[in-house]
A = this chain, B = another copy of it.
């Protein structure tokens, strides 16, 4: 568990890429209206259909964004990790949330009201550019997701996920070990698979000697060989 003492909102805002280059006085203005939100593992932050009043920044913890079907099945769209933000897109539309957000662990979030963002956009071109870049990246990522869901098999999506999880620093290594950031069930759902199927594919890859599974630690003895399985 982390330190839960009082935090300096400005410090955290400064760490977000979106706010890089913003002058201290602008950061201060934004910080003034930014609210801290602490939530415990399992807490719902918002539900699909709730109105959106701004966007969120994850200072620490993990937030799960998901759809739920009428029949109650859940599909995880994304897991937001420390230092990332979410809800920017819907903020620009006058529509309610299309996903629900739930804490996967104890979290500290910041909520930035949309009004202050709109005001900042009035004044700063560079900020607008950053915001456009951020939204464009999200759109791009969603396109790649759609491609994966449509064109790749479950096994290929899992391999792609594992390769994606390799830390920047280990990119060039032959052998790497990665640590799954959330439960296998959540990852399975994120990849549009049942956890049973996910488990079976991991086993299959393990039998082939392509990975070594030890709980949440996945060893990849030969990254290139795993990559080759994508064809």
A124 CB, min distance to chain B CBs, angstroms: 9
Residues A132 and B128 in contact, CB atoms below 8 Å apart = yes
A63 CB, min distance to chain B CBs, angstroms: 16
Query: A215 at interface (Cβ–Cβ under 8 A)?
Result: no
| Chain B residues whose C-beta falls within 8 Å of the C-beta of A144 in the assembled complex | 98
| With A146-B146, A146-B149, A151-B67 as contacts: A136 and B92 at CB distance below 8 Å | yes
At the interface, is chain A mostly helix, strand, loop or mixed? Answer: helix
How many residues of chain A have a CB within 8 Å of chain B? 42
Interface residues of A in 99-118 (CB under 8 A from B): 99
Which residue from chain B places its CB closest to the CB of A136 in the assembled complex?
A: B92
Taking a contact as CB atoms closer than 8 A, the residue among B73, B90, B150 that contacts A136 in the complex is B90
Residues A151 and B93 in contact, CB atoms below 8 Å apart = no
Q: How far is the CA of A47 from the CA of B170 in the complex (A)?
A: 32
Interface residues of A in 66-98 (CB under 8 A from B): 67, 69-71, 73, 75, 77, 88-93, 95, 98
